Structure 1
Amino acid sequence: MKKRTQVDMIREALADRIVHGYLRPGDPLDETSLAAEYGVSRTPIREVLRQLETIGLALSRPHRGAIVASLTPRQLDETFVVMAELEALSARLCATALRGEGLHALQSLHEGGAGAARTNDVAGYRLHNERFHAAIYAGSGNAFLEETALAVRRRLAPFRNLQFEAFQRPELSHREHARIVDAIVSGDGEAAASAMRAHILIVREAVDAVDLASER
Structure 2
Amino acid sequence: MASMTTHSATLREQIEELIAVGALKPGQHLDETELATRFGVSRTPIRETLIQLASMGLVVIRPRRGAIVAELGPQQLVEMFEVMSELESTCGRLAARRMTAEEQKQLLAAHQACQQALDAQEPDAYYYKNEVFHEAIYAGTHNQFLIDQTRALYRRLRPYRRLQLRVRDRLANSYHEHDGVVQAIIDGDGERAARLLREHVMIQGQRFADLMASLSQLNQDAA
What's the TM-score once normalised by structure 2's chain length?
Answer: 0.86
Q: 1:185 to 1:214 in 2, by over 3 A?
A: same
Moved over 4 A (4+): 1-6, 212-216
| Unaligned runs of at least 5 residues, structure 1 | none
Find the counterpart in structure 1 of residue 30 from structure 2. Answer: 29
Find the counterpart in structure 1 of residue 214 from structure 2. Answer: 210
AA aligned opposite 2:194: A
User: Hey, what's the Cα distance between the residues in 1 that align with 2:138 and 2:26?
Assistant: 25
- Between 90-99 and 55-64, report the one with greater CA deviation: 55-64
1:111-158 per-position Cα deviation (integer Å, ceiling 9, x unaligned): 221121123201211110110111111111211111111111111112
How large is the Cα RMSD of the aligned pairs?
2.3
Find the counterpart in structure 2 of residue 146 from structure 1. Answer: 147
C-alpha displacement at 1:34, in angstroms?
A: 0.8
Contact 1:116-1:170 within 8 A present in 2 as well = no
Contact 1:25-1:70 within 8 A present in 2 as well = yes
AA aligned opposite 1:201: M
| Unaligned runs of at least 5 residues, structure 2 | none
AA aligned opposite 2:15: L
Q: What secondary structure does 1:59 align onto?
A: strand
The size of the alignment, in residue pairs, is 216
AA aligned opposite 1:111: Q
Where do residues 126-165 of structure 1 align in structure 2 (5 Å cutoff)? 126-165=127-166
What's the TM-score once normalised by structure 1's chain length?
Answer: 0.89
C-alpha displacement at 1:74, in angstroms?
A: 1.3
Q: What secondary structure does 2:202 align onto?
A: helix
Q: What secondary structure does 2:68 align onto?
A: strand
Find the counterpart in structure 2 of residue 47 from structure 1. Answer: 48
Find the counterpart in structure 1 of residue 194 from structure 2. Answer: 193
AA aligned opposite 1:210: S
Q: What secondary structure does 2:27 align onto?
A: coil
1:59-114 per-position Cα deviation (integer Å, ceiling 9, x unaligned): 12334321211111111111111111010000011111124333233122202211
User: Hey, what's the Cα distance between the residues in 2 that align with 1:184 and 1:64?
Assistant: 49
1:13-63 per-position Cα deviation (integer Å, ceiling 9, x unaligned): 111222344323223211121122122332222221111111111112334
Where do residues 120-131 of structure 1 align in structure 2 (5 Å cutoff)? 120-131=121-132
User: Hey, what's the Cα distance between the residues in 1 that align with 2:67 and 2:118?
Assistant: 34
User: Hey, what's the Cα distance between the residues in 2 that align with 1:42 and 1:108?
Assistant: 42
C-alpha displacement at 1:208, in angstroms?
A: 2.5
| Identity within the alignment, % | 44
Q: 1:99 to 1:7 in 2, by over 3 A?
A: closer
